């Protein structure tokens, strides 16, 4: 921390003492934010708050004067977070190291769209300097040119509903010899509505006159007021509840077929 200028004026030097020269850090005085310095939303002006609210939805690095917003864009639940670690300056680049936090395994998050971001102050000493945001765990840049490469995974479980291949943010998987599928993704594709009560942990799916209630890690399922025991308890992964494939046919009455050779699930809605 810089010493106040008033302290310099009060220093006295006796005849037998050599003058002590206290020099200010000129660069620091001119530039209070040599490195990216996190700030809170509450500390911003109204104009800066409006800037954050507008650009937090867009993935990337956004700037307003000395204020920088680093956003990961849209995420499916609040389990995804962005954490500042440190900031370092190289000759022509400011490197901001962050950590991307993922949803905790086994924890059910409210199904609310979330936009992880951090805000901070930074005043680059040169207009030729650039900013690079790096994942501290992987060492890789977070923001690059939009290029998505999806290699074909022959082991991935594919799901077809009424003849159309489905894509879920949490793909199906095998667990203890059972095919587990994302409850919300499949139910909603079949016309059901799914709600999650964060207080009780109860998941409720409704379709026409059918009401299904269940909780993760419990084999007990309530179907239209009657309790049933399923062969495997639902569990949570990446903020999504996964249920046994058989559960779809037994509760919704849909036609379900599992092709082991093709690693493919076929679901045909009942008419």
Mean pLDDT by 10 residues, the chain (271 residues): 35 41 40 82 89 85 88 91 92 87 89 91 76 91 52 65 80 84 89 90 92 94 93 85 87 85 84 67
Q: Looking at residue 260, what is its pLDDT?
A: 81
Q: Can you give the residue ranges of every domain in the chain?
A: 23-135, 158-268
Indicate the SS3 state at residue 179: strand
Is residue 76 within 8 Å of 239, Cβ to Cβ?
A: yes
Say how far apart CA 141 and CA 138 lie, in whole Å.
9
Do residues 158 and 265 make contact, with C-beta atoms less than 8 angstroms apart? yes
Cα dihedral 209, 215, 217, 222 sign? negative
Q: What is the pTM of this model?
A: 0.45
∠ CA 71-77-83, nearest 5°, is 40
Q: Check if the beta carbon of residue 97 is closer than 8 Å to that of residue 160.
A: no
Neighbours of 241 (CB within 10 A): 24
CA separation for the pair 58, 133 (Å, rounded): 15
Based on the number of CB atoms within 10 Å of its own CB, is 74 exposed (0-12), middle (13-18) or buried (19 or more)? middle
Residues 73, 106 contacting (CB under 8 angstroms):
no
Q: What is the per-residue pLDDT for 20?
A: 42
**Alpha-carbon gap, residue 45 to 201, rounded angstroms:** 39
pLDDT of residue 40: 95
Res 128: pLDDT: 60
Contact 77, 110 (CB under 8 A): yes
Please name the residues in contact with 99: beta carbons below 8 A apart, sequence gap of 6 or more: 82, 83, 85, 135, 136, 137
User: Which has the closest alpha carbon to 116: 153, 180, 70, 152?
Assistant: 70
CA distance 97 to 70: 11
Residue 19: its pLDDT value, please?
44
Distance CA(172)–CA(238), nearest Å, equals 12
The pair of structure tokens assigned to 257 is 């077929």
- HSE on the CB side for 49, CA within 13 Å? 7
CATH of domain 158-268: 3.30.457.10
101 touches 117 (CB < 8 A): no
Rounded CA-CA distance 57/154 in Å is: 34
pLDDT of amino acid 18? 45
CA atoms within 13 A on the CB side of 225: 1
Pairing verdict, β 235-237 and 240-244? antiparallel
Residue 89 has a pLDDT of 83
């Amino acid at each position: 921390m810089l010493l106040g200028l008033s302290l310099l004026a009060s220093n006295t030097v006796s005849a037998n003492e050599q003058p002590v020269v206290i020099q200010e850090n000129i660069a620091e005085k001119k530039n209070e934010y040599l490195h990216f310095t996190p700030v809170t939303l509450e500390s911003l002006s109204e104009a800066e708050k409006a800037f954050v609210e507008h650009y937090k939805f867009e993935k990337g690095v956004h700037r307003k004067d000395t204020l920088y917003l680093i956003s990961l864009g849209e995420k499916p639940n609040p389990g995804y977070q962005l954490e500042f670690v440190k900031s370092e300056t190289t000759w022509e680049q400011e490197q901001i190291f962050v950590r991307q936090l993922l949803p905790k395994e086994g924890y059910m998050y409210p199904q609310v769209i979330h936009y992880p971001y951090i805000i901070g102050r930074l005043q680059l000493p040169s207009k030729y300097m650039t900013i690079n945001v790096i994942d501290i765990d992987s060492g890789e840049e977070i923001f690059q040119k939009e290029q998505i490469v999806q290699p074909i995974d022959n082991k991935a479980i594919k799901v077809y509903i009424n003849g159309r291949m489905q894509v879920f943010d949490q793909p199906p998987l095998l667990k203890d010899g059972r095919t587990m599928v994302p409850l919300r993704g499949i139910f909603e594709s079949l016309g059901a509505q799914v709600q999650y009560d964060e207080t009780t942990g109860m998941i409720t799916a409704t379709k026409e006159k059918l009401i299904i209630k269940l909780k993760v890690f419990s084999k007990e399922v309530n179907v239209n007021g009657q309790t049933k025991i399923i062969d495997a308890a639902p569990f949570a992964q990446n903020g999504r509840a996964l249920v046994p494939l058989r559960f779809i046919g037994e509760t919704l009455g849909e036609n379900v077929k599992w092709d082991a050779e093709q690693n493919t699930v076929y679901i045909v809605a009942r008419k």
